[in-house]
Amino acid sequence: MHKCSSESRIGRPKDAAKHTSIVEAATRRFSGQRYDTVTMEAVAAEAGVSKMTVYSHFSDKEALFEAVVSDVSDRMLRVLPPASSENLPLRERLSAIGAAFLKIIVNVHVAGMAHALPTGSEDLPLRTRLYDAGPGRTVAVLAGIISEAAARNELIVDSPELAAHDLVSLWAGDLHARILFGVVKRATDREIKERTRRGTDVFLRAFGTRGKRVSS
């Protein structure tokens, strides 16, 4: 049977819905078990479609994983604060990015997905693509904001990139370890907001210009 690409089938609403269901099912599978143990059959069963339907959208498991990575990247992009937030105080802007970041990392279980990938050197590209799609994109955005704030004399940092990593660590705390041990639960918006506020406040106390308020 001739296999159609997802692009050729995406125009039909019914197929678009199946495509979304397959990607969501694959995300749950890849975040909950090792990459090499995930099967197209299992994804099909969880998505409520046939195995042939999965193969009509994705030629193989790597193509399916690429779609999951792309979806994670799109989610990160959608939840990052819009350009209009540039007028917000630094503390508010950073906290908003932190909340968006943790919501994806915790509730989509990106960290668990990375842990489930194979550990061989030949699989490094998969890990790199997953990191670049989620945490890497956030760190890049943060580094730019931190660099701009330093130029305005709101922050004193030796490296915007390293400071961005510091801030992400303050936001995440022990979440990565908890995800790897399987003891993390879906975080509420309030819990995420409180965690990111605290991490942002600690960051600003460490890097804020002495004697100058960096928040409202």
30 close to 15: Cβ distance less than 8 angstroms: no
Higher pLDDT, 104 or 211: 104
- 101, 155: one domain: yes
**Structure confidence at residue 179 (pLDDT):** 64
Those residues whose C-beta lies under 8 Å from the C-beta of residue 182, and which sit 6 or more positions away, are: none
Q: Does the predicted model carry a pTM greater than 0.85? A: no
Q: How far is CA 192 from the centre of its chain?
A: 14
The tens digit of pLDDT for each residue in 116-136 reads: 676 665 667 777 877 776 678
Those residues whose C-beta lies under 8 Å from the C-beta of residue 70, and which sit 6 or more positions away, are: 133
- Which CATH number belongs to the domain containing residue 76 in this structure? 1.10.357.10
**Whole-angstrom distance, CA of residue 149 vs CA of residue 119:** 38
- 88, 43: one domain: no
**Whole-angstrom distance, CA of residue 90 vs CA of residue 155:** 10
Those residues whose C-beta lies under 8 Å from the C-beta of residue 119, and which sit 6 or more positions away, are: none
- 50, 75: one domain: no
Q: Residue 212 domain-assigned?
A: no
- 73, 163: one domain: yes
Instruction: Locate 203 and state its tokens.
Output: 């960051």
- 126, 30: one domain: no
- 147, 197: one domain: yes
Question: Looking at the 3D structure of the chain, how many domains does it have?
Answer: 2
Distances (CA, A) of 210 to 80, 85, 155, 170: 29, 25, 9, 20
- 112, 185: one domain: yes
The tens digit of pLDDT for each residue in 59-91 reads: 999 889 888 877 877 777 776 766 666 778 999
Residue 208's DSSP bridge partners are 155
- 44, 94: one domain: no
Q: Residue 215 domain-assigned?
A: no
What range does the domain containing 181 cover?
66-207
Q: How far is CA 93 from the centre of its chain?
A: 18
